[in-house]
Amino acid sequence: MTDVSVEEIAEETDSPAETTIAAHPFSLTLSAPPAAPSREPVAEPVAAAVVKGRIKVADEVVEKVAALATLEVAGVADLGAGPVGMVQPVRERAGIATGSGAGRSRHGVSAHVQERTVAVDVAIVAEYGHVVMDVANEVKTSVARTVSRMLGMRVVEVNVNVDDVRLPGEDRPEVSDES
């Protein structure tokens, strides 16, 4: 906590004839509480070393963060299927092998990362009784804020698709996990 006080500032010199009192009615003095003494030596600031290399954040990481941010919003009953979820069952019935993205259809979130920017598509199931447009707008804000803060990426787009409305008393559909 910082204390703020208003006071007059007096400037004194060696000679009593040269003493000047300057009144500044709104000058501020900031004083912070004394810091606890540290037993560790204080390191001098060092210029940042240049280290070569790349940092790659997988789309799946962004999808998980976006999914969690979506589920935290009041009025979101669940993640929807979205376009990714609709394509996956067709691929499975056709016997087309799916790679590492096989589990992605359950997320209801699709992300595209390019350099340090990301675009996210989110499919949701809204709870009955909530204003759907308000819920969707809150999902956009939450996803953009959380992805930006946690991953340090610039979110250029968040698209929200409302797939369904969960009615009161309607149970969550069972998802068979055959992995």
113-157 tens-digit pLDDT: 998 899 999 999 999 999 999 999 999 999 999 999 999 999 999
Determine how β-strand 117-127 pairs with β-strand 109-114. Answer: antiparallel
* Number of domains composing the chain: 1
73-82, 102-111, 139-148: which has the highest mean pLDDT? 139-148
Q: Is residue 140 part of a domain?
A: yes
User: What is the mean predicted confidence (pLDDT) over 60-67?
Assistant: 96
In the prediction, which pLDDT does 10 show? 45
31 domain-assigned: no
Quote the pLDDT of residue 47.
Answer: 64
16 found inside a domain = no
Residue 149 located in a structural domain: yes
Which residues have a Cβ under 8 Å from the Cβ of 77 and sit 6 or more positions away? 124, 125, 126, 127, 165, 166, 172
Q: Mean pLDDT score of the chain, rounded to an integer?
A: 74
Q: For the whole prediction, is pTM greater than 0.75?
A: no
Q: In 3D, which of 151, 160, 84 has the Cα closest to residue 118?
A: 151
114 vs 85 pLDDT, higher one? 114
d(CA 26, CA 5): 9
Do 126 and 76 meet the contact criterion of CB atoms below 8 Å apart? yes
Phi, psi values for residue 102, rounded to 5° = -60, -40
Measured between alpha carbons, how far is 147 from 63 in angstroms, rounded to an integer? Answer: 9
Residue 159: which CATH number? 3.30.70.1350
- Is 11 within the bounds of a domain? no
Whole-number Cα distances in Å, 143 to 85, 92, 96, 166 = 19, 30, 32, 21
Residue 157 in any domain: the answer is yes
Tokens coding 26: 């709104």
Of residues 36 and 93, the one with the higher pLDDT is 36
Q: Of 128, 121, 125, 140, which Cα lies nearest the Cα of 173?
A: 125
Query: Which of 130 and 44 is assigned the larger pLDDT?
Result: 130
Nearest by Cα to 80 from 22, 147, 21, 126? 126
- % pLDDT > 90, the chain: 47
pLDDT at 58: 92
Residue 13 lies in a domain: no
42 falls in which pLDDT band (50, 70, 90)? low
Find out whether 135 and 96 touch, Cβ atoms under 8 Å: no
Contacting residues for 87 by C-beta, under 8 A, at least 6 apart: 105
Residue 85 gets which letter from DSSP?
A: H
Residue 41's pLDDT band, with cuts at 50, 70 and 90, is low
- Does position 28 have pLDDT exceeding 60, yes or no? no
Residue span of the structural domain in which 78 resides? 59-166
- Is residue 147 in a domain? yes
